[in-house]
Structure 1
Amino acid sequence: MDRPQILVLGTGGTIAGSARSATGQSYGAGELSLEAMIGDVSSLALDAQLLPRTIAQIGSQDIGWSEWDALHREIVRAQNDPAIAGVIVTHGTDTAEETAYLLDLTLPAGKPVALVGAMRPADMVGSDGMRNFANAVRLVSDEDAAGRGVMVVMGDTVFAASDIRKASTSNIDAFRGFPRGPIARVTPSSLDWFAPAHRDAIQPRFDWPQKLPRVAILTAGAGMDAKPLEALLSIGCKGIVIAGMGQGNAPRVVLEALAKAVRAGVPVVRSARVDEGMVDRNVEVDDDTFGFVAARSLGPAKARIMLMLLIANGITDPARIQDAFDRP
Structure 2
Amino acid sequence: MLTKARYSVKDMLQWTRWELIGFIIFSSIITVLHQLFDFTFFKIPWTPVAVVGTAVAFIIGFQNNAAYGRIWEARKIWGGIVNTSRSWGMKTKDMITNEYTEEKVPEERLIQERKTMVYRHIAWLTALRHAMRSPKKWEVFEYHRTNREWSKMMHIPERDISLEEAISPYLSKEEQAYILQKNNKAAAILYLQSGHLRQLKEQKLLWEFSFLDLENVLQELFTLQGKSERIKNFPYPRQYATLSHYFVLIFVILLPFAIIPEFSGIGDKIATKYPIIGFNFVWLAVPFYTIVSWIFHTMQRIGTVGENPFEGSANDVPISTISRGIEIDLRQLLDEEVDQIPKQFKEQFDVQM
TM-score, structure 1 length as denominator?
Answer: 0.20
Q: Which one scores higher on RCO, CA 8 angstroms, separation ≥ 6?
A: 2
Instruction: Choose 1 or 2 for highest CA Rg.
Output: 2
Of Structure 1 and Structure 2, which has the larger fraction of its residues in strand?
1
TM-score, structure 2 length as denominator?
Answer: 0.19
